[in-house]
């Protein structure tokens, strides 16, 4: 319950000084929500992977839902794909680029060949990531096939005993 307490102090949004009153979380609350430590959030920031959406006048970090989504993405790329933070930085830069492209894409009067080029860039990055994932899946499938074979052997040995004892 205490972890949902939003910032009650004045918040200075750096960059975009928008008036949206989305609930911003303190680092403790954000870490709890994201399932990471405060240290990790500070470390990701040190490496430039995330920047809290706002800072209080006292210099305290405030995190938005978008920040939490980004942290979740970092953790997913770490645990599911086994990427290191430098590789993750690359993936995030790509995904940020895609978001930019989408914005650019909306602009009127952008020539079709430029749109095509932007989309092509997105597609290349996405397909590259997909190959990494596929390799992981294949390795896991091979592992589970081997493991299942072991399990079958154990079970049949148990059945033999049961049959012999009956």
Partner DNA sequence: TTGCTCCTCACGTCACGTGAGGTGGC
Beta-strand pair 11-12/54-56: antiparallel
Total Cβ atoms within 10 A of residue 47: 11
Options 9-17, 36-44, 50-58, 143-151: segment touching its own copies (CB under 8 A) = 143-151
Q: Which does 43 bind (CB under 5 to 8 A by kind): its own copies, DNA, none?
A: DNA
Residue matched to tokens 């930019």: 100
Q: Site mask, its own copies, residues 77-96, x = CB under 8 A?
A: --xxxx--------------
DSSP-assigned beta bridge partners for residue 41: none
Total Cβ atoms within 10 A of residue 141: 10
Q: How far is the CB of 75 from its own copies (least distance, A)?
A: 11
CA atoms within 13 A on the CB side of 131: 5
Query: Contact positions toward its own copies, by CB under 8 A?
Result: 76, 79-82, 105, 112, 115-116, 119-120, 122-123, 126-127, 129-130, 133-134, 136-137, 139-141, 143-144, 147-148, 150-151, 154-155, 157-158, 161, 164-165
């Amino acid at each position: 319950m205490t972890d949902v307490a939003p910032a009650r102090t004045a918040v200075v949004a750096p960059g975009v000084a928008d008036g949206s009153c989305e609930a911003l979380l303190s680092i403790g609350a954000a870490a709890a929500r994201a399932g990471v430590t405060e240290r990790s959030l500070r470390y990701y920031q040190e490496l430039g992977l995330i920047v809290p959406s706002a800072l209080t006048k006292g210099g305290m970090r405030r995190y938005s839902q978008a920040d939490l989504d980004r942290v979740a993405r970092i953790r997913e790329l770490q645990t599911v794909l086994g990427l290191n933070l430098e590789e993750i930085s690359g993936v995030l830069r790509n995904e940020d680029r895609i978001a930019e492209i989408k914005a650019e894409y909306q602009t009127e009067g952008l020539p079709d060949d430029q749109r095509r080029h932007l989309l092509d860039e997105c597609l290349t990055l996405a397909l590259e990531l997909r190959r990494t994932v596929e390799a992981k899946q294949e390795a896991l499938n091979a592992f589970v096939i081997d493991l299942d074979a072991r399990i079958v052997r154990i079970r049949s040995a148990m059945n033999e005993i049961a049959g012999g004892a009956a």
